[in-house]
């Protein structure tokens, strides 16, 4: 659906409102190519063209919501929308007031439309991957195309956000529980990146063939690559920045807020609305700031405030939800090319798995290393290690034991496709720590 068609539909639906009713129309859609691979061969390919419309009808302090899939035929969509509005009106008559209802009463407009710049056809990108992985047991998925978000209201809001991206997520399987995982995502496709990562992974598979080293429980020097750091950021996002969690004292960062603990001064974490795939407006019509500083030089910065929390606690809205969706961790000064030399002896951790809070009051996280973790001696990777569980505090990993952050950062787009391709992303460096606690 085009912006013009969406805005016209919203205007025609708004024309049927009565009294003081207010209507918000939120569109979500995509035009995506998907390809699944197994044994380094294309097994399933398809194209999705989808758009859905969520209608929120407001009357005074009451609201009701319904959604439907758009057919693409203007008259059919108009008829279905009018029918749903009639049902919402009936529902509003029996609903109680919503004490936390809040929406932007001042109309605003904005268009963020970006044509695909360097996205190849799906078959071309997948052919590049298959060629680079010739002779390897590869399983993966390719997703690419446009993600669209629209907002229109009877008050005059008119917003449209559209951006193209790609996401290639794959694993190389060796045998038993031995495998390596990688991904490549972004906005500008470069086949050289795929070839380089596959060359690195081929070397990794050869190391993976060596007998695994069994480590005793204890604390080990470690380098955490950006995918592993992403898991730790996911834990911080779990209640770490939501205003409601802070006001109800449920945040795992309570000691940070109180000044009892701190991260390293090199840790600055932002919700970077201007960088990611997410639109710069909320479903309720609020305009988002370009960024929100969540952790500022090791100290707590600002909470994320969505419309409902903003109404409940009297704070200005700065996010669409209480969970970050475009996290950005500031880089350091360690070149990636010098990581192994600086690590010297310890662990190179590519990914972390099954992370959960073991003690949220201490920001303590537990999880598994699984595959893609190697033992390093004298700056050279020696062998894989057996699967180990770690249990450590983020106040240590990102605080007292933090040695360096890499100068380079990796943009990682979420590969999730439930109810549509995700727009979440992170931009992260690697992290070198003087110790991570392995428990068993």
Dig out the tokens for 190 from the structure. Answer: 């470069």
What number is the average pLDDT over the span 127-136? 97
* Topology (CATH) of 3-207: PmbA/TldD fold (3.30.2290)
| pLDDT value at 117 more than 80 | no
Dig out the tokens for 276 from the structure. Answer: 């990611």
What is the reported pTM?
Answer: 0.94
| pLDDT value at 116 more than 60 | no
| pLDDT value at 324 more than 60 | yes
pLDDT at 114: 65
| pLDDT value at 276 more than 80 | no
Position 115 confidence tier, pLDDT thresholds 50, 70, 90: low
Nearest to 151 by CA among 287, 296, 350: 287
**What rounded mean pLDDT belongs to the chain?**
96
Question: What is the rounded distance in angstroms from the CA atom of residue 184 to the CA atom of residue 15?
Answer: 46
Position 242 confidence tier, pLDDT thresholds 50, 70, 90: very high
Contacts of residue 206, defined as CB under 8 A and 6 or more positions apart, other chains included, come to none
Position 46 confidence tier, pLDDT thresholds 50, 70, 90: very high
What number is the average pLDDT over the span 162-174? 95
Compute the CA torsion angle 314, 318, 320, 325 (nearest 10 deg): -140
pLDDT in tens, 378-433: 999 999 999 999 999 999 999 999 999 999 999 999 999 888 999 999 999 999 99
pLDDT at 202: 97
Q: What is the DSSP string of 79-146?
A: HHHHHHHHHHHHHHTTPPP-TT-----S--EEEEE---SBPPPHHHHHHHHHHHTTTSEEEEEEEEEE
Using CB atoms within 10 A of its CB, is residue 215 exposed (0-12), middle (13-18) or buried (19+)?
middle
pLDDT in tens, 78-87: 999 999 999 9
**363: region left, alpha or beta (phi > 0 left; psi from -120 to 50 alpha):** left
pLDDT at 286: 98
Q: Please, where in the chain does CATH 3.30.2290.10 lie?
A: 3-207
Report the Cα–Cα distance between both ends of the chain, in Å, rounded.
Answer: 53
What number is the average pLDDT over the span 270-286? 92
Question: What is the rounded distance in angstroms from the CA atom of residue 173 to the CA atom of residue 372?
Answer: 11
CB 377 within 8 A of CB 245: no
pLDDT at 250: 96
Of 107-121, 129-143, 226-240, 286-300, the least confident: 107-121
């Amino acid at each position: 659906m085009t912006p013009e068609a969406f805005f016209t539909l919203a205007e025609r639906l708004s024309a049927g409102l009565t009294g003081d009713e207010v209507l918000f129309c939120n569109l979500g859609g995509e035009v995506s190519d998907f390809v699944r691979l197994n044994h380094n061969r294309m097994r399933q390919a398809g194209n999705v063209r989808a758009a859905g419309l969520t209608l929120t009808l407001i009357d005074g302090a009451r609201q009701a919501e319904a959604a439907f899939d758009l057919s693409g035929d203007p008259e059919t969509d108009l008829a279905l929308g009018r029918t749903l509005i009639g049902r919402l009106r009936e529902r509003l008559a029996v609903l109680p007031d919503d004490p936390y209802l809040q929406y932007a009463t001042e109309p605003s407009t904005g268009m963020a439309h970006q044509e695909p710049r360097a996205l190849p056809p799906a078959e071309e990108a997948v052919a590049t991957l298959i060629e680079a992985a010739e002779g390897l047991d590869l399983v993966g998925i390719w997703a690419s195309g446009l993600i669209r978000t629209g907002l229109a209201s009877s008050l005059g809001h008119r917003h449209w956000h559209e951006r193209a991206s790609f996401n290639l997520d794959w694993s190389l399987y060796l045998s038993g529980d031995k495998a390596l995982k990688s991904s490549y995502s972004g906005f500008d496709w470069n086949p050289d990146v795929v070839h380089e990562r596959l060359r690195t992974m081929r070397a990794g598979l050869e190391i993976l063939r060596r007998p695994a080293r069994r480590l005793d429980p204890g604390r080990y020097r470690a380098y955490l690559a950006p995918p592993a750091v992403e898991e730790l950021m996911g834990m911080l996002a779990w209640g770490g920045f939501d205003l409601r969690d802070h006001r109800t004292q449920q945040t795992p960062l309570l000691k940070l807020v109180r000044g009892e603990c701190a991260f390293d001064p090199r840790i600055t974490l932002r919700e970077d609305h201007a960088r990611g795939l997410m639109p710069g407006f909320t479903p309720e019509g609020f305009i988002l700031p370009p960024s929100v500083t969540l952790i500022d030089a090791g100290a707590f910065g600002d909470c994320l405030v969505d419309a409902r929390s903003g109404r409940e606690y009297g704070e200005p809205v700065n996010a669409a939800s209480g969970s970050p969706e475009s996290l950005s961790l500031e880089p350091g000064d360690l070149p990636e090319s010098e990581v192994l030399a600086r690590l010297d002896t310890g662990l190179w951790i590519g990914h972390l798995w099954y992370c959960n809070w073991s003690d949220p009051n201490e920001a303590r996280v537990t999880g598994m290393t699984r595959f893609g973790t190697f033992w390093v001696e004298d700056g050279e990777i020696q062998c894989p290690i057996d699967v180990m569980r770690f249990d450590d505090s983020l106040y240590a990993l990102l605080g007292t034991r933090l040695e360096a952050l890499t100068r380079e950062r990796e943009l990682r787009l979420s590969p999730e496709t439930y109810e549509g391709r995700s727009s979440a992303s992170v931009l992260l460096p690697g992290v070198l720590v003087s110790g991570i606690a392995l428990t068993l």
